[in-house]
Amino acid sequence: MPVKPPPVRPRTHDLAAASAAGRAALGWLHTARFLTTAAQLHQLPPLDVPEIAFVGRSNAGKSTAINTLTQQTQLAFASKKPGRTQHINLFALGRQGQMDAVLTDLPGYGYAAVPQADKQRWQRVMANYLVTRPNLTGVVMLCDPRHGLKELDETLLEVIRPRVEQGLQFLVLLTKADKLNRGEQAKALSIARLQVGGGEAMLFSAHTRQGVEQAALWLRALAGAASPSAGGQG
Ligand code: GDP
């Protein structure tokens, strides 16, 4: 009779290493600072560092997720100041004044109170950004799993699909996971995984910090893959 191998248990030093990497990733994200804001695509500066865009329906939890990941209480809420809500806001990342990568906060879409003409203009700006921005390396889509991916999210997925096929990294963060029980979380995650095709999906909660370290590691790995100084120690 074949002998059953013993179950594999994570060793203590593996767990310590995992959280050390998580801490390093969060430390790196904490260097985020406001870089610039632009109302139109052509006003964005050309950059030669990896750029990771955060997108999502209004109220999906995007600002809270950016603030939680960067451990800064106000960073993304600056994007909600009057006059900036329909702007593309860039945040620089990197230690000692270096810029290893950029986080782009794209305006939330789907807000009912916005006039139709503005909505359409913004959808065009966003689609153009996602299709043409040369240094765009990753897209993080924030989604409230109680509502699931909506039509505009699906449209955006279609827009970026050709770039995902060419290597653009894509992550769906299922926000406010604390509002779901374990069964609901598992179900939301498996549905999202089916929907994202070549991308990834993770559960995330700013309240319980579920998924915060995992998302930080994903972001850092993405920037590190393209920029050696971001991928190094510390
Ligand atoms: P945005 O419009 O996508 O930037 O969304 P916000 O970050 O402003 O969040 C929208 C609402 O969801 C706010 O009332 C937040 O307090 C709430 N929210 C955001 N993240 C979480 C979370 O992880 N858990 C819970 N329970 N509520 C959250």
Domains of the chain, start order: 17-227 (3.40.50.300)
pLDDT tens column, 166-208: 999 999 999 999 999 999 999 999 999 999 888 999 999 999 9
Model confidence pLDDT, tens digit, residues 7-33: 555 555 565 666 899 999 999 999 999
Q: How far apart are CA 101 and CA 91, in angstroms?
A: 9
Residue 182 to residue 74: CA distance in whole angstroms: 31
> How far is the C-alpha of 41 from the C-alpha of 44, rounded, in Å?
6
CA distances from 18 to 4, 6, 12, 126, 137 (A): 28, 23, 10, 35, 24
pTM attached to this predicted model: 0.89
What is the greatest pairwise CA distance in the chain?
72
Residue 227 Cβ inside 6 Å of ligand 1? The answer reads no
Q: Is 107 in the pocket of ligand 1 (CB under 6 A)?
A: no
Cα separation, 91 vs 33, in Å, equals 5
**Closest ligand 1 atom, CA of 57?**
3
How far, in Å, from the CA of 61 to the mean position of ligand 1? Answer: 4
Among 59, 64, 172, which residue has the most ligand 1 atoms within 8 Å of its CB, making it the best to mutate?
A: 64
57 within ligand 1 shell (Cβ under 6 A) = no
